[in-house]
Structures are given as C-alpha cells and as structure tokens.
Chains A and B, each alone.
Chain A
C-alpha cells in the first residue's frame, strides 16, 4: 500500500556517486528511486514502468542529455523532467530555451542544495 503511494523517480547521471547522492536524498524524502548511468538504459526503464519524475544529466557518455530529455518527453509525456548539469548554468540560453519549450520543469546545477532537489522533485511530481 505504502509502496504504491510512493512516487517513482528515475535518476540518469554518468557519475555513479552523483546517482548515489540523489538516490539517498530522494529516498529520504519518500520517493522510490531508480538510477542509471546510461541514456539508453533510462529509456528502457521508462518503457517498463512509468516514472513521475526523471532527473537527467545534460552530459552522458552514450547520448546527449538534451536529446534524451526530448526522447523521454515523447516516449512518456507524463514524466516530468528535471535537467541536471555541471556544464551548463541556469542562464545558459540553451537551458532557458528548454525551460521555455517545457522540455523540462526545472534545472539543477551541480553542486546543488538538498532542499532544492527535494522541492524540485515535489514540484515536478505534483505536475503529473
């Protein structure tokens, strides 16, 4: 019962340690978290079951993060996406453009605050 009520969150980041940190933060906030370091795997996971939110790193070894975001939006329109990046900054035109197009609901730059992650997660989860 309880598990069913937990919103599922997918974390996609090429850094396993970043995955570890996000998993811990979000688990503690009461989400069911799945992590992967590969874009292709993320798409597979999304195809298998719905996720309320996906945290996607902008740079992945196999796929470009922004491309992945677009694919997720197409494949599972009900999954809200949060873009994470150590490369881009919030005012980057490319980031602003994605926000304006509604490709992702929020942008999280590394290093991030835990409260920020949680509020971003709850905001995103509430949109679905």
Chain B
C-alpha cells in the first residue's frame, strides 16, 4: 500500500475537471497547477512532499498574483498546537525561520481553529480583531484555507496581496481550496507511507530477531520471504532462496519424510494452522538440528468494503515457523538417560527399594522387593506397607511411618515382612522422607535389607563361638565332672571290697546317687548350652537365664578363684531368645573371669528400669581394657589373646545378639581397676 492508492480512491468529479480546463487557459501557472491536480498520483516535481509542495506553493502564488504565500503545518508533537511555516513566498528569510503561530492566533490560527476559509475583503464571517490585524499588516487582500484530510486539519495555505492589487475572487478561493485539498492528500499519503515504513521495519526487526526460522510460502509453493535465522541455519543466501520452490530449498528426503508440500497445500485449502511436529534438518557442512515446525495461514488483508456474505477469506500465504529444539531434545534425552540409569540402579539393587506417599501407601516396588516378598508391583501398589508387615510388628512400622511423615529419618530398624506364602522375612529398614522443592515432605523412600542370609551366617558364627567358649569351659567342666566321678568310683570300689559293711554300704550308695545327680545336671546344662538355637523369640525370664548360666559357669568361676556377687531384682518377662541370651551372659562371664587371672570379684546385677528396659551388669576387678581398644572390642576377630586362645568373635556375637533384641551393650573400663559391661534389653515387644 502507498500514497498512490489514496489518490486513486479520490478522483476529481467530471464537473470540476471541465471548470479546471476553462480556468487553466487563462494563465500558464494555473495550467501547471491543474495538470498537477489532474495527474492525480503522478509525481510532477519529484517523489516526495518536501520537494513538491514548495514548487506548488510558488505556482499558487503566481497563479493568484499573491505578494505573499505560505504553507504552514501543525506541529503535533507539541502539547500546544502550533503552526510552523513549511514553505513561503515573498517573506523575509528571518520571518520564515521564526514564525510559529499558535492555533487561534492570527489569520492562519483562526482558520485552523474555525476550520473555515478566510477571504478578505468579501468574506462575511471575519471577526473585527482579525480585520484590524489585516489592516495593520497592510494587506489589501487575504486568502487562507485549511489543509484537511480524513477530517484532520494538517495546516493552512495562506495568501496575501499588498499595495493596490485587487481583492481575491471566489474563483481564486475555489482554486486555492482545490490545491489545499490536494496538498492535504499528498501530506496524508506521505504520513501514512512513513508510518507504514516504520511498521514494516518494526515487523522486519521482530522477524529478524526472533530465534525461530521463518519462511513465507505462496500458493505455488515458492518462498516469498525468509528471515535471517532461516538463512543462517540453512547456510543459504536470500537470492538463492527467495522465489525458489520449497523442494529446491529443502532436501528431498526431508520433504518425503514430512510431506511438507502436502501439508502446505492443506493449509491453503483449509485455512487452518497445523501443529507440524519434529523435523531433522541438516544444512550442508553443519551438524544436524532438530526443529519443531508449524504451518500458519496468512490471510489477505480485509477488503475496505464488506465482503460478500458466505465468501470465505482467502489464504494468501502460508508461514512455516521452525523452532530449533536440538538442545531441548538433547536435554530431554539426557533426562531420559538419567532416568533410565536411576531406574536400573533401583531395579538392580539387592535391597528392597520402595517409595510411598506420605500416608505410607506404596507407589513403587523394585525387583528385589518383588523377589523377596513374592508379591508383584501390581499386587502392592496403593497398599499400605503396614499391611505387609508381620502382625506383631505392625505398631513398630506404624510408628516408623509417623516419624517419616514428620520429616524424620529412620535408621536400621528391624521389622519382619510377610511374604506371599505367609512367611516372615527379617528386614532391616532405612527410611528417609522425600522432600519437594519447598522442602515439604512429599513422600517416603525406604530401603530394606533382607537379613535372612545374614541371620544364617550369624547363627553359624555364633555357634562356632559357642563351641569355642565350650573349649574354655572344658577345664572347669572336667574338674566338676571328675569330682563326682571320683566319688562314685571310690564308693563303688569300697562297696565291692566290703559288701558286708552295712553303714558303709548305705553311705556309699547315697554318695553314688548324689554324685550321679550332680554329674548329670552338669551334662544337662552343657547340652542346653551347646544345642543350636532355633532363633525364635518367646516370653523369657531373664532372671532364670542368668541363674542357669551361673550354674553352668560356677565351676569355672571357682576354678579361677573368682568370687561371685549377685544382686538380682524382680524382672519383668521380655520377648527374647533364652539360648541366645545365655550365650551372651556366658561370654561376658567368661571374659570377666579371663580378665582376672589372679582371681577377683565378679558382680552380676540385674534390675528393671521401670517397665521400659532390663539392665544386666557384669563387673569385674580385672586388668581392664586399654582406652585405645575400647572402640574395637565389639568388632569381629578383635582379640588381644594369643593365637589359638581366643577367636575374637565373642563380643561381636554378643553385640549382634543384643541388637537383634533391639537392645544395647556398653562397656566402661579402667585399666587396672576392671570393666563393667551393661546389657540393656527393652521390655516392649
């Protein structure tokens, strides 16, 4: 669109043309003016208004025999509307430069304000102060008309005669009005043109700076426009792109793959945008890029008159918009790879890895969880982990989940898991809350280790250690057994020698009987101790276990000149494995005796701390444990005994057994004073 179009839409009326023809014969200047008016859009004096209008003004001054003529335009940039001289004839130069007329002042100001032409003498509507002013200026005649276009006043064409010149005629007014109209149209066109150019460059700047490739395609599938981004990414030049068919610009293989040509035609046909999809495009000599493309229809500008009803607006061009998503795609691929990696880490783990919502409902359940429990993900999804725990231990798991929901983490807590076949599997749980970006607890992740195998190995190890302590006990047991054996043997021999002695016989038989009882009790305790435990926990009287252990060990204690002091309080029953506890007590007592090779005092105390826990203490007056050994004494195979004497397993097994009972074992020791081992066992089930 340009200024010519405006003219073409505003032709002169035939009556005006014939009148103009008559007038033009009178004077060559008028003739020139009329040619300008008649030529409509043709540029007689150059391409733009700045060149044309001063020439026209001169012609007008000549044609109307004006002494002075000026073209003044409104300066709209100012808040106060002011007229500025654009071209002038017959004025001193300094007047031309400085003259600025406020709207409402002077002849021109009045014409702009009133939107009415001024003709003097002859005009009827001229206010007295204006007449006075004209008289002061020494004008014999004045003619001023507004330049109006589309209802806007752009400026004025102001003429004056001096001296004894005759007044302006109505024909002068008519011609000047026509010229003013035409000038207004030229100015308006000029303004529209510059606005359009501004707009065009604005749009171009946007198109060139958006980080998307953009081409416009016409109906013959030729490229009519391509932005800089497209040309750079495709390593193309504008001259080898514009006007080319798309199949000459895009590689054949890409067109076949995307059916781009068909899709463009489709958009022309339907007038609907398409969400294209991805396309991979590799410009020669550049690495391949991935684009997301869309096809958008561009419509013809709406016609100035209303379109006929039912007639569809026509698609003039189709715009192909290509967003480079290579980085995003690569990032997506990275994310997917990281995701796959994480999934396989979780899936390949030997430990159960379970994620839950904050209420403890299972969300994911890894392969290890499936194989240990025998339950498939589909069977457990949405279920509470609580319902999959051994009935007796559910309160413990419930407490664990409550703590997790509060944001605490839970370490190494043992709760048995129920398998599909109804068996219980011992699991050590390590759980932590998962937090969202706002550090709010969004879920729970738990890692569980199947302790079955560990328990089996521990049992094996603990059995070996027990056998080892049997070796230590052998001396005491031998002594203890050979005494009754000695008595039995001697009595029997006496009876054989003197069968007649009645008193000797009855005494001897009594001694034999008592000694046999004693020997078999020792054997029984020994058997109990040596028997492999079944690992089950049951209601256990810790007091009884302690007494039994002491019976078994008293020979050893006595043998080593150790004085035993006992102080046992009333103890509540606890859920424990008595064989395992006996093993712990045996170990601690034998250790205490070994710490006192010259004899000493072993103090065994047992007390209940409320209903919470049971404390059993074993204090010796032996050589004590050096400070530097304290952190290691519960480590497996740590021993200070000569090779072959101790396995170094005793205390580590005690530690493991007490841990299995959710208890603790601690030691206080002072070199030369003795050591005290404290076992704490919780009463809670």
Smallest CB gap from A111: residue in B: B489
The answer to whether B561 has its CB under 8 Å from any CB of chain A is yes
Pair B515/A24 contact, Cβ less than 8 Å: no
Q: Which residues in A have their C-beta under 8 angstroms from that of B486?
A: 15, 18, 21, 86, 110-112
Shortest Cβ distance from A85 into chain B, in angstroms?
A: 8
Pair B483/A114 contact, Cβ less than 8 Å: no
How far, in angstroms, from A64 to B559 measured CA to CA in the complex?
Answer: 9
Smallest CB gap from B498: residue in A: A28
Q: Which residues in A have their C-beta under 8 angstroms from that of B491?
A: 21
The answer to whether B473 has its CB under 8 Å from any CB of chain A is no
Pair A59/B559 contact, Cβ less than 8 Å: yes
Task: Provide the B559-571 mask, 1 if CB < 8 A to any CB of A, else 0.
Answer: 1010000000000
Q: A87-B478, A111-B488, A113-B493 are in contact. Are A15 and B483 (CB under 8 A)?
A: yes
Q: Which residues in A have their C-beta under 8 angstroms from that of B8?
A: none
* Secondary structure call for the B interface: helix
Chain A CB within 10 Å — which of B486, B488, B559 has the most? Answer: B486
Select one of B475, B480, B514, B558 contacting A17, CB under 8 A: B514
Smallest CB gap from A63: residue in B: B561
Q: Which residues in A have their C-beta under 8 angstroms from that of B488?
A: 111
Pair A25/B490 contact, Cβ less than 8 Å: yes
Shortest Cβ distance from B109 into chain A, in angstroms?
A: 139
Pair B479/A24 contact, Cβ less than 8 Å: no
Interface residues in B483-518 by Cβ distance below 8 A to A read 483, 485-491, 493-494, 497-498, 504, 507, 511, 514-515
The answer to whether A68 has its CB under 8 Å from any CB of chain B is no
Pair B559/A17 contact, Cβ less than 8 Å: no
How far, in angstroms, from A18 to B602 measured CA to CA in the complex?
Answer: 28
How far, in angstroms, from A44 to B479 measured CA to CA in the complex?
Answer: 27
The answer to whether A81 has its CB under 8 Å from any CB of chain B is no
Pair B511/A20 contact, Cβ less than 8 Å: yes
How far, in angstroms, from A86 to B475 measured CA to CA in the complex?
Answer: 9
Pair A86/B494 contact, Cβ less than 8 Å: no
Smallest CB gap from A115: residue in B: B493
The answer to whether A12 has its CB under 8 Å from any CB of chain B is no
Q: Which residues in B have their C-beta under 8 angstroms from that of A86?
A: 478-483, 485-486
Q: Which residues in B have their C-beta under 8 angstroms from that of A21?
A: 486-487, 490-491, 494, 511
Pair B483/A18 contact, Cβ less than 8 Å: yes
Smallest CB gap from A113: residue in B: B493
Select one of B481, B487, B504 contacting A18, CB under 8 A: B487
The answer to whether A22 has its CB under 8 Å from any CB of chain B is yes
The answer to whether A93 has its CB under 8 Å from any CB of chain B is no
Pair B489/A112 contact, Cβ less than 8 Å: yes
Select one of A25, A61, A64, A111 contacting B494, CB under 8 A: A25
Pair B559/A112 contact, Cβ less than 8 Å: no
Q: A17-B515, A24-B504 are in contact. Are A114 and B494 (CB under 8 A)?
A: yes
Pair A59/B479 contact, Cβ less than 8 Å: yes
Shortest Cβ distance from A66 into chain B, in angstroms?
A: 12
- Interface size grouping (class) on chain A: 20 to 34
Smallest CB gap from B558: residue in A: A61
Shortest Cβ distance from B629 into chain A, in angstroms?
A: 30
Shortest Cβ distance from B477 into chain A, in angstroms?
A: 10
Q: Which residues in B have their C-beta under 8 angstroms from that of A59?
A: 479, 558-559
Shortest Cβ distance from B488 into chain A, in angstroms?
A: 7
Q: Which residues in B have their C-beta under 8 angstroms from that of A20?
A: 507, 511
Shortest Cβ distance from B491 into chain A, in angstroms?
A: 6
Shortest Cβ distance from A28 into chain B, in angstroms?
A: 7
Q: A111-B488, A111-B489 are in contact. Are A17 and B511 (CB under 8 A)?
A: yes
Interface residues in B164-201 by Cβ distance below 8 A to A read none
Shortest Cβ distance from B338 into chain A, in angstroms?
A: 71
How far, in angstroms, from A86 to B519 measured CA to CA in the complex?
Answer: 13
Q: Which residues in B have their C-beta under 8 angstroms from that of A111?
A: 482, 485-490
Task: Provide the A1-39 mask, 1 if CB < 8 A to any CB of B, else 0.
Answer: 000000000000001011011101100100000000000
How far, in angstroms, from A18 to B489 measured CA to CA in the complex?
Answer: 10
How far, in angstroms, from A110 to B515 measured CA to CA in the complex?
Answer: 13
Pair B559/A87 contact, Cβ less than 8 Å: yes
Smallest CB gap from A57: residue in B: B483
Smallest CB gap from A19: residue in B: B487
How far, in angstroms, from A22 to B558 measured CA to CA in the complex?
Answer: 23
How far, in angstroms, from A22 to B494 measured CA to CA in the complex?
Answer: 10
Interface residues in A72-87 by Cβ distance below 8 A to B read 85-87
Shortest Cβ distance from A9 into chain B, in angstroms?
A: 15
Interface residues in B443-496 by Cβ distance below 8 A to A read 475, 478-483, 485-491, 493-494
Interface residues in A95-115 by Cβ distance below 8 A to B read 109-114
Q: Which residues in A have their C-beta under 8 angstroms from that of B483?
A: 15, 18, 86, 110
Q: Which residues in A have their C-beta under 8 angstroms from that of B559?
A: 59, 87
Shortest Cβ distance from A62 into chain B, in angstroms?
A: 9
How far, in angstroms, from A22 to B488 measured CA to CA in the complex?
Answer: 12
Q: Which residues in B have their C-beta under 8 angstroms from that of A17?
A: 487, 511, 514-515
Shortest Cβ distance from B564 into chain A, in angstroms?
A: 12
How far, in angstroms, from A17 to B488 measured CA to CA in the complex?
Answer: 9
Shortest Cβ distance from A82 into chain B, in angstroms?
A: 14
Shortest Cβ distance from B58 into chain A, in angstroms?
A: 147
Shortest Cβ distance from B145 into chain A, in angstroms?
A: 146
- Which 5 pairs of residues, A with B, have the shortest CB-CB distance? A86-B482, A110-B486, A111-B489, A21-B490, A87-B479
Given contacts A86-B481, A87-B475, 14 further A-B contacts (CB under 8 A): A17-B514, A17-B515, A18-B486, A20-B511, A21-B487, A21-B490, A21-B491, A21-B511, A22-B490, A87-B478, A110-B486, A110-B489, A111-B485, A111-B487
B-side residues, CB < 8 A to A, are 475, 478-483, 485-491, 493-494, 497-498, 504, 507, 511, 514-515, 558-559, 561
Query: What are some 18 contacts across the A-B interface (CB < 8 A)?
Result: A17-B487, A18-B490, A21-B490, A24-B504, A25-B494, A28-B497, A59-B559, A86-B480, A86-B483, A87-B478, A87-B479, A110-B485, A111-B487, A112-B486, A112-B489, A112-B490, A113-B493, A114-B490
